[in-house]
């Protein structure tokens, strides 16, 4: 086959490559054969059997091999100029190429070979590092446990018709980091001389890199790395009006946690000073005041995923003041950012309904002023002051919110197709270093399911359940067949519910492809129905009739669990601004409120007793109010504040790979550790010596420098 133009790509089968004006990608021979097959007739639906006959030429090919090849080719063909997936899945029919083709090399658009070669060179890492991001994993987990999954920002999300939407035109975009793993949280120093960012690695290590900006042409790029073999370094914020960088440093075993300040006034030399101690990882940041006297930080009240308060700690005396109490549900205070002069503290508060509210705190007057409230649940990972200190910038995946402190209508800067901004730091009024880190980006190919055999022995055996390209997340094992389970996977361009039996996988649903996962899977005790949540909507899959039932589509449901008699479900429901437990009767479709205080993550034990979680604590249900019995609170900040029941056993896990088992009768505690960051834990109901878990595997994510202009 001759060189062919396929949409934005120039496809050259002879040298196994696709390229555009800025980059060249080499393809594996199998992917070249697959693309040649599609390119002969773009748009035509090609069945799986035809692919087997043409590409593999074998009598039998495992479904996973086909899924993996399609997924890898789809990923390779992704391009910022494409508005749809390059390969479309046609349910039970096959696949089709969605790229327009030119007939020959003579019709193909010209390519700048020199530019493409340079692009290929810059895509190689400066030096090798394997990595996994706890920050990204936390973001992924937050998305997983929220009753409604966060979505990109749109003009409608501001909740006010008077708010303005403008288009952000990108005039320059360039990659600025090249390590393997995730490079995230770019932070420009107050004097605009240094860039600090986090680099996380797949072996569980994390470090912080600090780069001097404005390197003269011809000089070697210099970066200082803060790292240690037994510690995790995460970047927090720059201290206003200084070159002091605040870090959180946690030992890999979770036993030691500190906030430290790194003074880079004599760069590349630096001086480390311990500012305060901490209790473990939280979803939130910290900020040191301009005078160095106060540490503002998020303080968790019961492990990861519990609510955070905003506190101010006096560095000299150790006294701690609570500025904003942790809500009874939601994630509480997350991101913090002091203005350039240090006079105002901006913060994001996620309330019980998981809606994001943005506040300004004045340390001098001790007053809090709400700047904006977003009307639906949305996970935000970035918060930045404008250079004139008159506005806040909040990146939201495909748009940036500009929030005025003068109570003017806020603006939505809509980003061009294909550009994602989860975090940003301003270099000038129209330039910023950005990270594409967002819940969707954090989970693209980064979530996998594992099986842990003999978990609490000296050498637990860990194996991946699937080898398909893409992500797999939640899992529920059949209560009636030990070799069957349902799971969530993004193997075909979007998240679907899958079924596995005796090693054979079958796709059960055909949702529109998007980044919103299928999660919170629960299997009825009689084995007939599988309940799950997607975008806060409740679905049932009837295994007997092979039928999908849309049970509730109001974007307000999370954590469904079946009643012991299979007559209905108990679940978390967002109602107005509260998050409570409700019971749904499947026959009448009637909802009945069970708790009148915040409740989430319900479950039943083997005696049919209902339990739930609230405010980092574990409760036995009695009346949904004052008579409910508190059983446990989370005392280790590294563990999730959620327990999973199985018979008389109780499990919980940490992001560091720790798993804890408590025997509820004897009180015996067992612990083990796996070499992965854990996102979810699923005990096998049929085998006490087997666990399943969702883990985070590092995707590739680099920092970029962008420049823009606003089209009013």
Residue 252's pLDDT band, with cuts at 50, 70 and 90, is confident
List Cα–Cα distances, 548 to 263, 536, 594, in angstroms.
58, 16, 27
4-13, 354-363, 547-556: least confident range: 4-13
C-alpha–C-alpha distance, residues 592 and 3, integer Å? 63
pLDDT at 342: 93
C-alpha–C-alpha distance, residues 683 and 82, integer Å? 42
Q: What is the mean pLDDT of residues 365-374?
A: 89
478: Cβ contacts below 8 Å, ≥ 6 apart? 484, 485, 486, 523, 527
557 CB burial (10 A radius; 0-12, 13-18, 19+): buried
Q: Is the model's pLDDT at 147 over the cut of 80?
A: no
pLDDT tens for 621-653 read 999 988 999 988 877 767 887 889 998 899 999
C-alpha–C-alpha distance, residues 10 and 46, integer Å? 22
The structure tokens listed for 360 are: 């300004």
C-alpha–C-alpha distance, residues 543 and 533, integer Å? 17
291-305, 359-373, 475-489, 670-684: least confident range: 291-305
- State percent of the chain over pLDDT 70: 85
- State percent of the chain over pLDDT 90: 43
- What is the pairing mode between strands 164-175 and 411-414? parallel
The structure tokens listed for 635 are: 């005392």
3-state secondary structure of 158: helix
- The number of beta carbons lying within 10 Å of the beta carbon of residue 357 is 15
3-state secondary structure of 122: helix
pLDDT at 366: 92
Phi and psi, residue 65, nearest 5°:
-65, -40
pLDDT at 302: 67
C-alpha–C-alpha distance, residues 70 and 493, integer Å? 9
pLDDT at 700: 76
Residue 118's pLDDT band, with cuts at 50, 70 and 90, is very low
The structure tokens listed for 254 are: 């979770």
C-alpha–C-alpha distance, residues 508 and 487, integer Å? 10
C-alpha–C-alpha distance, residues 539 and 268, integer Å? 56
C-alpha–C-alpha distance, residues 534 and 518, integer Å? 5
Q: What is the mean pLDDT of residues 420-443?
A: 82
- Which helix or strand (DSSP H or E) is residue 121 part of? helix 113-122
pLDDT at 81: 65
Q: Is the model's pLDDT at 533 over the cut of 90?
A: yes
**579 DSSP β-pair partners:** 574
C-alpha–C-alpha distance, residues 625 and 610, integer Å? 14
pLDDT at 156: 47
Phi and psi, residue 325, nearest 5°:
-70, 150
- Which pTM does this prediction carry? 0.69
Q: What is the mean pLDDT of residues 14-41?
A: 84
Q: How many residues does the chain have?
A: 712
655: Cβ contacts below 8 Å, ≥ 6 apart? 134, 137, 138, 141, 281, 304, 638, 640, 677, 678
pLDDT tens for 160-212 read 545 577 888 899 888 888 887 888 899 999 999 999 999 987 666 789 999 99
C-alpha–C-alpha distance, residues 441 and 429, integer Å? 26
pLDDT at 22: 64
pLDDT at 109: 31
Residue 581's pLDDT band, with cuts at 50, 70 and 90, is very high
Q: Is the model's pLDDT at 553 over the cut of 70?
A: yes
b/e map 391-416, b = 16+ CB within 10 Å:
bbbbbbbbbbbbbebeeeebbbbbbe
Mean residue pLDDT across the chain: 83
pLDDT at 295: 96
Asked if residue 20 lies in contact with residue 8, where contact means CB atoms within 8 angstroms, the answer is: yes
pLDDT at 574: 82
| CA dihedral sign, ordered 84, 87, 91, 93 | positive
pLDDT tens for 641-685 read 788 999 889 999 987 788 999 998 898 999 998 888 888 999 999
- The number of beta carbons lying within 10 Å of the beta carbon of residue 552 is 20
pLDDT tens for 464-482 read 998 887 889 899 999 999 9
Q: Is the model's pLDDT at 238 over the cut of 70?
A: yes
Asked if residue 644 lies in contact with residue 661, where contact means CB atoms within 8 angstroms, the answer is: no
Tokens 């109901």 belong to which residue?
Answer: 685
Residue 80's pLDDT band, with cuts at 50, 70 and 90, is low
Residue 505's pLDDT band, with cuts at 50, 70 and 90, is very high
């Amino acid at each position: 086959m001759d060189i062919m133009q396929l949409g934005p790509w120039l496809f050259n089968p002879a040298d196994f490559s696709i390229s555009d004006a800025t980059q060249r990608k080499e393809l594996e021979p199998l992917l070249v054969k697959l693309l040649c097959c599609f390119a002969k007739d773009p748009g035509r639906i090609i069945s799986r059997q035809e692919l087997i006959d043409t590409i593999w030429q074998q009598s039998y090919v495992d479904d996973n091999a086909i899924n993996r090849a399609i997924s890898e080719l789809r990923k390779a063909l992704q391009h910022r100029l494409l508005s749809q997936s390059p390969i479309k899945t046609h349910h039970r029919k096959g696949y089709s190429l969605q790229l327009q083709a030119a007939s020959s090399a003579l019709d193909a658009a010209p390519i700048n070979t020199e530019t493409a070669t340079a692009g290929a060179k810059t895509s190689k890492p400066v030096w090798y590092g394997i990595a996994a991001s706890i920050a990204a994993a936390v973001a992924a987990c937050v998305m997983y446990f929220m009753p409604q999954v966060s979505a990109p920002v749109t003009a409608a999300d501001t909740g006010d018709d008077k708010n303005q939407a403008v288009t952000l035109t990108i005039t320059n975009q360039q990659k600025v980091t090249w390590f393997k793993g995730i490079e995230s949280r770019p932070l420009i120093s107050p004097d605009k001389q240094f860039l600090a960012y986090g680099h996380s690695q797949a072996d569980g290590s994390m470090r912080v890199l600090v780069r001097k900006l404005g390197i003269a042409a011809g000089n070697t790029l210099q970066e200082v790395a803060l790292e240690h073999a037994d510690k995790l370094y995460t970047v927090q914020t720059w201290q206003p009006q200084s070159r002091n960088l605040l870090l959180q440093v946690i030992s890999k075993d979770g036993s030691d946690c500190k906030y430290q300040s790194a003074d880079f006034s004599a760069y590349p030399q630096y001086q480390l000073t311990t500012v305060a101690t901490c209790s473990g990882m939280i979803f939130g940041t910290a900020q040191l005041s301009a005078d160095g006297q106060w540490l503002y930080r998020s303080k968790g009240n019961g492990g990861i995923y519990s609510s955070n308060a905003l506190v101010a700690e006096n560095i000299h005396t150790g006294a701690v003041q609570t500025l904003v109490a942790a809500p009874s549900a939601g994630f509480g205070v997350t991101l913090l950012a002091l203005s350039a002069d240090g006079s105002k503290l901006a913060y994001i508060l996620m309330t019980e309904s998981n809606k994001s509210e943005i506040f300004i705190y004045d340390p001098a007057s001790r007053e809090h002023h709400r700047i904006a409230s977003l009307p639906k649940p949305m996970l935000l990972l970035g918060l930045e002051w404008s250079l004139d200190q008159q506005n806040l910038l909040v990146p939201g995946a495909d748009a940036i919110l500009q929030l005025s402190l003068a109570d003017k209508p806020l603006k939505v800067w809509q980003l061009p197709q294909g550009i994602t901004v989860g975090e940003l730091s301003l270099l000038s009024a129209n330039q910023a270093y950005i990270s594409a880190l967002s819940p969707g980006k954090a989970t693209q190919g980064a979530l996998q399911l594992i099986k842990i055999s003999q978990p609490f022995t000296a050498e637990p055996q860990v194996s991946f359940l699937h080898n398909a390209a893409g992500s797999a997340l939640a899992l529920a094992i059949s209560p009636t067949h030990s070799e069957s389970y349902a799971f969530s996977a993004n193997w075909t361009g979007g998240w679907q519910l899958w079924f596995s039996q005796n090693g054979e996988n079958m796709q059960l649903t055909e949702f529109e492809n998007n980044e919103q996962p299928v999660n919170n899977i629960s299997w009825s005790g009689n084995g007939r129905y599988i309940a799950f949540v997607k975008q806060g909507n409740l679905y049932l899959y009837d295994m007997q009739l092979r039928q999908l039932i849309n049970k509730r589509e109001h974007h307000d449901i999370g954590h469904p669990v079946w009643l012991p008699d299979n007559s209905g479900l108990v679940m978390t429901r967002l109602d107005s601004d509260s998050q409570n437990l409700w019971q749904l009767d499947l026959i009448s479709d009637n909802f009945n409120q069970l708790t009148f205080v915040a409740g989430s993550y319900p479950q039943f034990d083997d005696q049919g007793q209902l339990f739930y979680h609230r405010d980092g604590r574990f409760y036995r249900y009695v009346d949904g109010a004052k008579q409910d019995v508190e059983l446990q609170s989370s005392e280790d900040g590294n563990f999730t504040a959620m327990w999973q029941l199985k018979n008389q056993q109780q499990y919980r896990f940490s992001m560091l790979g720790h798993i804890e088992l408590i025997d509820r009768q004897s009180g015996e505690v067992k612990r083990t550790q796996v070499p992965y960051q854990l996102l979810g834990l699923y005990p096998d109901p049929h085998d006490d010596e087997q666990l399943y878990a969702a883990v985070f595997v590092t995707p590739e994510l680099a920092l970029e420098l962008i420049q823009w202009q606003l089209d009013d």
